[in-house]
Amino acid sequence: MKKVGVAILGLGVVGGGTYNILVDNKEYFKKTQDVDFTVECVLEKNVQRAIDLGLEESQVAKSIEEVVSNPNVDIVVEVIGGVEPAKTFVLKALKSGKTVVTSNKELFAKHWPELETEAKNNKAGLFFEASCVGGVPIIRTLIDGMQANNIQSIKGIINGTTNYILTKMANEGSSYEEALKEAQRLGYAEFNPTADVEGFDATYKLSILSSLAFNKKICIENVYREGITGVTKEDIAYGKELGYTLKLLGIGKNTKHGIEVRVHPTFVANSNPLASVNDSFNAVHLVGDSVGEIMLYGRGAGALPTGSAIVSDVIYAAKHEDFFYTSFDNSPNGNKQTKFVNDFTSKYFIRLSVADEPGVLSTFSGVFSKCNISISEVKQTACENGKATVIIITHESSESNVNKALAKFKSLKVINKVESVIRVED
């Protein structure tokens, strides 16, 4: 039976979950995987935390050098998060020839080329299943399950915090601020929630996933990003009346005009399976030219779901000597020949505050016509204090044409304010 030593860098929520899975399922892995895993050491400042998990004080390393010089450590698991000191620690592990398993999407999205180069140079493995979508095996699916396909699109709910907030706003009529506070109370959102609510977390993940899906390096700078901080419960309620559910989506498309990658709030039709993905759950929808549609669904965060993905990588690394490295040009700035679509097309939900007087509809309809935008649906709400709310759903239109129309609206006296603009996916 193969014996494999593991070191864990960081014993927070995910690190603790990873440790528990490795220890609690040790005999099961011996029986089903023919591998005997042992947690040789951990790197953790809080020694008591390690002891409370069941480790001996002698197993708590005092430095990364102590970890990487340990001849019994074959695989190093990094679950510290952030760029530093995680990057330094991972590079030292790879330079020592240790295989690395990481859940760090920010580190990976920003420094993948450097990490992979070091792994190649030292014939070490570099695994990152847990960096995207928690316990959902999306990366293994892309690498080992979809090779027969040219993947045409990847679309998903890839951040559990924002999905919880939007679900609460939709189901309970909460404001964004109220839903965020509840998410923080439950531990879904950090004290500083910027990475989640402004779309950075989803951008890191979409950069990684779309690179694998389209076999081209997609830098985070190539991803259009918009968060949910401007979303209101009124928008969600109006969308619900029209048969839509609001989600923060990561969308990647491989089109004949180039690669399109974007993260933003999106109304999805209630008939779309993504509309029914609620709370902190995640889901990813793939379209391949051979297999057609595939959807993966599950918990996107948490100690055991993310730990499950990490241990899956640990097992895979222990049983496969030929490590995976990217076949595309994985340089820091990507391949300059890769074309990106910036002026993408979409349907749009537009909410206007307008004057309650004759001719208003024809006025903004004329602007849309001049900007080559076709209207699919118009809904006007009850009037109050001489003002009315108009909801417009457009047909597929280009981003540039919509922006032209919105700019023209500013000069129209009958339009008091453009309250919101949200893209729509059927």
CATH number of the domain encompassing residue 127: 3.40.50.720
**Both 415 and 384 in a single domain?**
yes
What integer pLDDT is reported at residue 322 of this predicted model?
86
What integer pLDDT is reported at residue 371 of this predicted model?
96
| Pairing label, strands 75-78, 99-102 | parallel
**Both 228 and 270 in a single domain?**
yes
Name the catalytic one among 87, 92, 155, 205. 205
Of the residues 74, 104, 131, which one is the last residue of a structural domain? 131
Output the tens digit of pLDDT for each of the chain's 426 residues.
999 999 999 999 999 999 999 999 999 999 999 999 999 999 999 999 999 999 999 999 999 999 999 999 999 999 999 999 999 999 999 999 999 999 999 999 999 999 999 999 999 999 999 999 999 999 999 999 999 999 999 999 999 999 999 999 999 999 999 999 999 998 888 889 999 999 999 999 999 999 999 999 999 999 999 999 999 999 999 999 999 999 999 999 999 999 999 999 999 999 999 999 999 899 999 999 999 999 999 998 888 999 999 999 999 999 998 898 999 999 998 888 999 999 999 999 999 999 888 888 888 889 999 999 999 999 988 677 778 899 999 999 999 999 999 999 988 888 889 999 999 998
DSSP string covering 20-38: HHHHHTHHHHHHHH-EEEE
What integer pLDDT is reported at residue 381 of this predicted model?
80
* C-alpha to C-alpha distance for 254 and 189, rounded to whole angstroms: 32
**Both 236 and 370 in a single domain?**
no
**Both 265 and 367 in a single domain?**
no
Would 374 be classed as within a structural domain? yes
Would 305 be classed as within a structural domain? no
- One-letter amino acid identity for 261? V
Would 45 be classed as within a structural domain? yes
Cα–Cα nearest to 225, from 256, 245, 196, 185:
196
**Both 124 and 146 in a single domain?**
no
Q: Which strand (E) or helix (H) includes residue 379?
A: strand 375-380
**Both 162 and 270 in a single domain?**
yes
Q: How many domains does the chain have?
A: 3
pTM: 0.95
**Both 90 and 192 in a single domain?**
no
What integer pLDDT is reported at residue 413 of this predicted model?
87
Q: Looking at residue 350, which CATH number applies to its domain?
A: 3.30.70.260
**Both 12 and 126 in a single domain?**
yes
- What would the two tokens of residue 401 be? 């044409």
Strands (E), 128-168: 151-157
* C-alpha to C-alpha distance for 108 and 252, rounded to whole angstroms: 18
**Both 115 and 193 in a single domain?**
no
Would 338 be classed as within a structural domain? no
Of the residues 97, 113, 131, which one is the last residue of a structural domain? 131
How far does Cα 363 stand from its chain's mean position? 40
What integer pLDDT is reported at residue 302 of this predicted model?
84
* C-alpha to C-alpha distance for 106 and 407, rounded to whole angstroms: 35
Burial class (CB in 10 A: 0-12, 13-18, 19+), 76: buried
Angle at 175 between CA 224 and CA 167, to 5 degrees: 65
205 catalytic per annotation = yes
Q: Look up the domain containing 192 and give its range.
A: 138-299
Rg (CA), the chain: 24
Would 182 be classed as within a structural domain? yes
Would 406 be classed as within a structural domain? yes
**Both 212 and 109 in a single domain?**
no
**Both 244 and 143 in a single domain?**
yes
**Both 108 and 181 in a single domain?**
no
What integer pLDDT is reported at residue 247 of this predicted model?
98
Would 319 be classed as within a structural domain? no
Of the residues 237, 270, 299, which one is the last residue of a structural domain? 299
